[in-house]
Amino acid sequence: MRVVLLCGGQGTRLREETEFRPKPMVEIGGRPILWHIMRHYARHDVNDFVLCLGYKGDVIRRWILDYPVMNADVRVQIGAQKIEPLQPLHEESRWSVTLAETGAVTPTGGRLLRVRRYLDRETFMCTYGDGVSNVNLSALLRFHRERGRIATVTGVRPFTRFGELQVRDGMALGFREKPQLEGGWVNGGFFVFEPRIFDYLNDDTTLERDPLERLAAEGELAVFQHEGYWAAMDTYREAQQLNEEWRSGRPGWLED
């Protein structure tokens, strides 16, 4: 099973960080958010990654190519330029990563279409490079296969950053700090796709617009309803909040 990670966006709402690096490389607890996402898939035995690069993709390339040297003790023979690892990389040693250039300004559907040749005409997973969750990926895949549709999206109900007041006659009946939104579901990423998804894409397609709308209209878009943790990192404030969670020792995306 392969997973496509959409890593090419410009992250304009996070300019404090993305002026210097792509959003998937913004760090949580000293590690890129991309690492946290990849690690989550690896916990469910999905270790084959296709990274759709775009804006400042060279930063991601260098991180992947230098990963063994930068994350373990090594012995270097400088003259011969020989590098000898002195300790294993543990779970990361099982990761296989395809680095695919998909264009600086290509929309999400176009990026997905450009990596079609790396997906072997099989069912594959896909998500964004800026969102973390504790979604059960094994259960998600089972759900997708049971429904037998072209696409499955994970529906989430994120937490609002505003406190909720329950009011009657000008008086507070209750207050909840940062409650989970009730009612409708939103697109949380963590997709599963059949190869027929490519029939709905072209080079200038935004995945979240016409393709998903058409799939829904045709009864080909299933929704895996995830009641647990999910968070996106769209702004500097959200990046700070995720780092605060990590420092707490109980980040929600690691909870089962």
Would the pLDDT of 88 be above 90?
Answer: no
So what's the pLDDT on residue 176? Answer: 61
Would you state the pLDDT for residue 174? 57
Q: Summarize pLDDT for 199-220 with one digit per residue, the tens.
A: 999 999 999 999 999 999 999 9
* CA distances for 48 relative to 41, 89, 153, angstroms: 9, 16, 20
Instruction: Tell me how far apart the alpha carbons of residues 83 and 149 are, in angstroms, rounded to a whole number.
Output: 47
Q: What is the pLDDT of residue 170?
A: 46
Phi and psi, residue 172, nearest 5°: -75, 125
Domains, the chain, in order of start with CATH, read 2-254 (3.90.550.10)
Neighbours of 58 (CB within 10 A): 11
**What pLDDT is recorded for position 3?**
98
CA torsion angle for 256, 136, 64, 194 (degrees, to 10)? 180
What is the pTM (predicted TM-score) of this model?
0.89
Strand residue runs (E) in the chain: 2-6, 27-28, 31-32, 48-53, 74-77, 82-85, 96-101, 124-128, 131-133, 151-156, 164-168, 171-176, 186-187, 191-193, 221-226, 230-232
**Residue-level length of the chain:** 256
What are the tens digits of pLDDT across the range 26-80? 999 999 999 999 999 999 999 999 999 999 999 999 999 999 888 888 888 988 8
First to last CA, the chain: 22
What sign does the dihedral 138-188-1-97 (CA atoms) show?
negative
> What are the tokens at 33?
């958010």
Kindly state the tokens that stand for 84. 């000898």
Specify whether the CB–CB gap between 60 and 51 falls below 8 A. yes
Q: How is residue 85 written in tokens?
A: 């690892």
* pLDDT score at 171: 43
Q: Report residue 57 CA to chain centroid gap.
A: 16
User: Is-contact 19 59, C-beta < 8 A?
Assistant: no
Mean pLDDT, rounded, of the chain: 90
Q: How far apart are CA 131 and CA 127, in angstroms?
A: 8
pLDDT of residue 87: 79
User: Any idea what the Cα angle at residue 92 is, between residues 88 and 93, rounded to 5°?
Assistant: 55
